[in-house]
Homo-oligomer: A and B are copies of this chain.
Amino acid sequence: MTITENTKILIVGLGLIGGSYAMALSRQGYKVSAITLEESSIKYALEKDLIVYGTTTPEPELIAQSELIIFSLYPHVFKQWIKDYGRYISPGTLVTDVTGVKSGIVYDIQAMLPKGAEFIPAHPMAGREVYGVENSDDSIFRGANYIVTPTAANTPQAIEECKKLGAILGFAAISVLSPEQHDDMIAFLSQLTHCIAVALMTCNDTEGMEFYTGDSFRDLTRIARINDDMWSELFMLNRDALLRHMTAFENELDKLRKTLLTSDRDEMRRMMRKSTQRRALFDKKI
């Protein structure tokens, strides 16, 4: 399968990310259909020209004729969907996803797909703290990272097409990692940060703090507004890696605490300088 302007694209799950994919693709002239739970999401996506066709029913013909299918569902819903309707996917179809954890699901999905259909997993490193297709915004991909996470079962062609999809969507950096490397990376970069934000937000019940805060607390807790249903599932699916990074972070915070306790200002400043130096790597390049 090679993505061209005529490729029949199907997005399953029109939420914030599915909708933003649809927006990016439709704006460039691709023909996108969608299957999603809510009639209202279809209606919105049609009105805003995010899709050319949408349905709340997993129509076998629609699935069978689609050449590129992108899944934007919670992990357990994704698996169940493939179990229920995966048999309608035609040989030669390229299947990809946006799921935030990989090793716990990609091998199962690959095993369940019909012969000749290829699942090449990917993770767009972009999001917002609001949900639903109504908040779709393809500008979130600008300057952002996109990670393709192939298994040994994937073909070089599928990996190339999946990277091409990332480029079409507008991502700035497109990388390839194994599902296991991805999950370790994401446990640190995304899941640990959400744990920290939640703990920071809930560890102090003092009233009125919003009148005293500066931007640093706002920044560290932006993601404390969290979809508990989705994130608790992602955490559980990547538990070991997340626990490992939590421990490493707590040990480091303890090192900093020790510099305070012992008034070791030199070591405190050394940590701060290392921090400053490393942070320079992470500025978004837009």
Q: CB within 8 Å of B: which residues of A? A: 125-127, 144-145, 147, 173, 175, 177, 182, 185-186, 188-190, 192-204, 206, 209-226, 228-229, 231-232, 235-236, 239, 242-243, 245-246, 248-257, 260-261, 263, 265, 268-269, 271-276, 278-284
Contact = CB atoms under 8 A, between A and B. Distances in A.
Contacts of A220: 193, 196-197, 219-220, 223
13 contacts: A190-B214, A193-B217, A195-B256, A195-B257, A198-B271, A210-B282, A215-B284, A219-B219, A221-B279, A221-B282, A232-B268, A246-B257, A250-B250
Contacts of A250: 250, 253-254
A202 B275 contact: yes
What is the interface of chain A mostly: helix, strand, loop, or mixed?
A: helix
A254 B249 CA distance: 12
B231 A272 contact: yes
A237 to B, nearest CB: 11
Nearest to A181: B212
A186 B209 CA distance: 10
Contacts of A196: 196, 200, 220, 253
B263 A198 contact: no
A163 to B, nearest CB: 13
B261 A243 contact: yes
Nearest to A242: B260
> Ordered nearest first, which 7 A-B pairs have the shortest CB separation?
A203-B252, A228-B272, A125-B214, A228-B269, A199-B253, A199-B252, A201-B275
Contacts of A261: 243
B245 A257 contact: no
Which of A126, A221, A239 lies at the interface centre, i.e. has the most chain B CB atoms within 10 A of its CB? A221
Contacts of A245: 204
B147 A226 contact: no
Given A203-B248, A229-B269, A269-B228, A145 B276 contact: no
A197 B27 CA distance: 38
Contact of A212 (B189, B254, B275): B189
Given A175-B211, A245-B204, A260-B235, A225 B190 contact: no
A44 to B, nearest CB: 24
A203 B268 contact: no
Contact of A201 (B202, B223, B232, B278): B278
